[in-house]
């Protein structure tokens, strides 16, 4: 499936304890476009965390 408009990542309700389950559920219904968007978003968050670590700053988890 290329696109599924009904796929909603619902990042507001993601926590450390439910990330894997919610992410897996999203992956099952999401199309390629949605998955690409989420991968790019997670890459930005990861790069930000790496930069903060390199600058000896506190890293706060976000989704």
Comparing CA positions, the residue from 49, 24, 60, 62 lying closest to residue 9 is 24
Structural domain range at position 62: 1-63
For 33, other C-beta atoms within 10 Å of its C-beta total: 14
Residue 34 has what pLDDT?
Answer: 87
pLDDT, tens digit, for every residue of 14-45? 888 998 998 888 888 888 888 898 899 889 99
Global pTM reads 0.65
Residue 63 has what pLDDT?
Answer: 65
Q: How many domains does one find in the chain? A: 1
Q: How far apart are CA 18 and CA 47, in angstroms?
A: 22
CA distances (Å), origin 2, targets 29, 43, 56: 11, 21, 41
Residue 40 has what pLDDT?
Answer: 94
């Amino acid at each position: 499936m290329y696109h599924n408009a009904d796929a909603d990542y619902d990042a507001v309700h993601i926590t450390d304890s439910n990330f894997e389950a919610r992410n897996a559920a999203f992956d099952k219904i999401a199309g390629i476009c949605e998955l690409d968007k989420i991968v790019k978003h997670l890459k930005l968050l990861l790069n930000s965390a790496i930069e903060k670590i390199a600058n000896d700053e506190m890293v706060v988890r976000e989704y």
